[in-house]
């Protein structure tokens, strides 16, 4: 079946099968390999993307359910060659080691900041609780999200 | 496991109840409803040879409403846990349900998982069901002939309920009667603090009249296939003479009677006291 959706700000018409997951559509059909397959059960958050502004694990969404949706992956964040504030904050705070969890982590953080531009420490922890990282111990990631929120506030001010 | 390419698998995404009814009238074979997909998509991966006809309910606006209607809070079956958590109506009239919603899975799962799916999936550990039962909620839905049904959640025998066994029955939502001076609460225990599945949970609802507790209803979840009523604990609450130790002891006894021979009985018998203490403390705070 054919579905229409927007992926990274570009309208698309794609052929999907009933059992195809959003993860498979993004990675295999559209070549958006920032979307990582980790646990395949919605536990690790590596496949997190934005669906209509909300963080979802793309391994637990079927592609046909995304008909008419606005999907954003990590590839859709950088604009005109400039990294997104969150991406830059992750670099500046050494919040990346092996990098496997990073795209999902950044997309979860993006959803958090879209909803709550000045999150409390507790809100940051809760916003990231669906994403596992085996390398960093989470603290640099936490600092990066807090830093990004501060940069956005300063920029707005 | 990867799914095989299913030639016969089908999927529909109706955009209105009318469209959905047209599909159901055909009584399609191997029909399976999907909403958030947080359980079913994993099932599809686990059983790659199942050829299902999937019908997605998540886009039906009629099933996504939360409103006060006929002295009840009505919550559509496709309302997500994230929406429950943030709804002022739910926080005001069913705070136990809002509290339970905040403790379901991760943000990603709360953004997709629905209250209707939580009920229909039938897990003993479903966090949304004990609060609904304690709040005297009814479920309502429709079958393939268009006939509407409404039934109380309390005492439901899931495996023998003809409606729940009818593959063409679809759940439209839940109806929670409004109570004057109503209060409700929820506590949960999992193997870790966040993103955890209930090993045990406890839901309470009651109302207050001149500071006295009226009509207390307490249900334990994840103890048996369906929430278990804590009748003796409720009686203690009404008596007004109950102290915390008696209250906790009655909960422990409930566990001992419900799962006498299960290996987890000694653990759950103690664990429920912790949940009970949380509920008790918050209840006393509200009363004072």
Q: Which two tokens stand for residue B112?
A: 């997709």
Q: Which CATH class is domain B64-177?
A: alpha beta
The rounded average pLDDT for each run of 10 residues, N- to C-terminus, in chain B (288 residues) is 65 96 96 96 92 95 97 98 98 98 96 97 94 98 96 90 94 97 95 85 95 94 95 92 92 97 96 97 91
B112 to chain A nearest CA, in Å?
A: 7
CB contact under 8 A, B106 and A45: yes
Tens digit of pLDDT per residue, chain A (157 long)?
999 999 999 999 999 999 999 999 999 999 999 999 999 999 999 999 999 999 999 999 999 999 999 999 999 999 999 999 999 999 999 999 999 999 999 999 999 999 999 999 999 999 999 999 999 999 999 999 999 999 999 988 6
Residues in chain A: 157
Task: Locate the domains of chain A by residue range.
Answer: 2-76, 85-156
Q: For residues B126 and B129, what is the distance between their CA atoms, to the nearest angstrom?
A: 6
Query: A2-76 in CATH: which number?
Result: 3.10.20.30
Instruction: Classify each residue of A131-150 as buried b or exposed e, where b means 16 or more C-beta atoms within 10 Å of its C-beta.
Output: bbbeebeeebbbbbbbbbbe
Query: Residue B5 has what pLDDT?
Result: 55
Close Cβ partners of B99 (under 8 Å, ≥ 6 residues apart)? B131, B185, B186
Residues in chain A with CB shorter than 8 Å from the CB of B58 are 65
Interface of B with A (CB under 8 A): 3, 5-6, 9-11, 13, 34, 36-38, 41-42, 44-45, 52, 54, 56, 58-59, 82, 105-109, 111-112, 194-195
| CA–CA dist B40, B98 (Å, integer) | 24
CA angle B71, B74, B75 (to 5 degrees): 160
In sequence order, which ranges of A28-101 are alpha helices (DSSP H)?
A: 85-92
Q: How many Cα atoms are found within 13 Å in the side-chain-facing hemisphere of A86?
A: 22
Q: How far is A98 from chain B (nearest CA, A)?
A: 23
Contact A16, A7 (CB under 8 A): no
Name the interface residues of A facing B (CB cutoff 8 Å).
1, 17-19, 21, 40-43, 45, 48, 51, 54-57, 59-62, 64-65, 67-68, 108, 111-112, 126-127, 129-131
- What pLDDT shows up at residue B211? 84
Model pLDDT, residue B201:
96
* Assembly ipTM: 0.97
SS3 call for A52: coil
Q: What is the pLDDT of residue B287?
A: 84
* Distances, alpha carbon B261 to alpha carbons B20, B102, B199, B252, B257, in Å: 46, 33, 17, 14, 9
* CATH number, domain B199-287: 3.30.390.50
Q: For residue B148, count other CB atoms closer than 10 A to its CB.
A: 9
A11 CB neighbour count, 10 Å cutoff: 9
- Are B277 and B204 in contact, with CB atoms under 8 Å apart? no
E runs forming strands in A58-143:
70-72
Angle at B260 between CA B259 and CA B265, to 5 degrees: 65
Rounded CA-CA distance A122/A107 in Å is 18
Two tokens at A10?
């570009």
CATH class of the structural domain A85-156: mainly alpha
Task: Please give the biggest Cα pair distance in chain B.
Answer: 66
Give how far A54 is from chain B: nearest CA, Å.
Answer: 7
Mutation for testing the B interface, residue in A16, A42, A64 having most B CBs under 10 Å: A42
Note the helical H segments in B114-165: 115-121, 129-134, 162-165
A55 contact residues in B (CB cutoff 8 A) = 107-108, 111
Residues in B touching A42 (Cβ below 8 Å): 38, 42, 105-106, 108-109
């Amino acid at each position: 079946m054919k579905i229409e959706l927007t992926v990274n700000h570009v309208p698309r018409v794609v052929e999907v099968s009933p059992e195809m997951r959003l993860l498979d559509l993004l990675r295999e059909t559209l070549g958006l390999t920032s979307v990582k397959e980790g646990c395949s059960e919605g536990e690790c958050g590596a496949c997190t993307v934005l669906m209509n502004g909300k963080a979802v694990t793309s391994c637990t969404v079927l592609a046909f359910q995304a008909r008419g949706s606005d999907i954003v992956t990590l590839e859709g964040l950088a604009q005109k060659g400039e990294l997104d504030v969150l991406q830059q904050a992750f670099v500046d705070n050494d919040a990346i080691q092996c990098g496997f969890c990073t795209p999902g982590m950044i997309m979860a953080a993006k959803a958090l900041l879209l909803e709550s531009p000045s999150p409390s420490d507790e809100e940051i922890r809760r916003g990231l609780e669906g994403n596992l990282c085996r390398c960093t111990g989470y603290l640099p990631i936490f600092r990066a999200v807090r830093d990004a929120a501060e940069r956005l506030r300063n920029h707005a001010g | 496991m990867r799914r095989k390419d299913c030639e016969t698998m089908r999927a529909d995404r109706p955009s209105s109840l009318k469209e959905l009814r047209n599909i159901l009238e055909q009584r399609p074979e191997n029909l399976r409803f999907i909403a958030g997909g947080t359980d079913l998509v994993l099932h599809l991966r686990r059983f790659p040879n199942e050829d299902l006809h999937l019908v997605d309910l998540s886009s039906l606006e009629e099933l996504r409403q939360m409103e006060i209607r006929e002295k009840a809070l009505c919550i559509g079956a496709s309302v997500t846990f994230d929406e429950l958590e943030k709804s002022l109506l739910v926080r005001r009239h069913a705070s136990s349900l809002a509290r339970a919603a905040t403790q379901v899975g991760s943000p990603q799962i709360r953004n997709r998982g629905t209250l209707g799916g939580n009920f229909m999936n039938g897990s003993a550990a479903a966090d949304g069901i004990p609060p609904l039962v304690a709040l005297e909620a009814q479920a309502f839905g429709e079958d393939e002939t268009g006939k509407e049904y409404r039934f109380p959640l309390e005492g439901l025998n899931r495996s023998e309920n003809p409606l729940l066994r009818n593959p063409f029955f679809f759940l439209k939502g839940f109806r929670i009667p409004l109570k004057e001076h109503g209060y409700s609460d929820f506590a949960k225990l999992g193997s870790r603090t966040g993103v955890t599945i209930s090993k045990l949970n406890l839901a309470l609802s009651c109302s207050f009249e001149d500071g006295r507790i009226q009509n207390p209803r307490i249900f334990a979840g994840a103890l048996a296939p369906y929430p278990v009523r804590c009748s003796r604990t409720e009686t203690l609450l009404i008596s007004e003479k109950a102290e915390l130790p008696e209250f906790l002891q009655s909960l422990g006894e409930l566990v001992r009677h419900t799962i006498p021979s299960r290996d987890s009985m000694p653990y759950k018998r103690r664990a429920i006291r912790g949940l009970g203490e949380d509920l008790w403390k918050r209840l006393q705070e509200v009363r004072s």
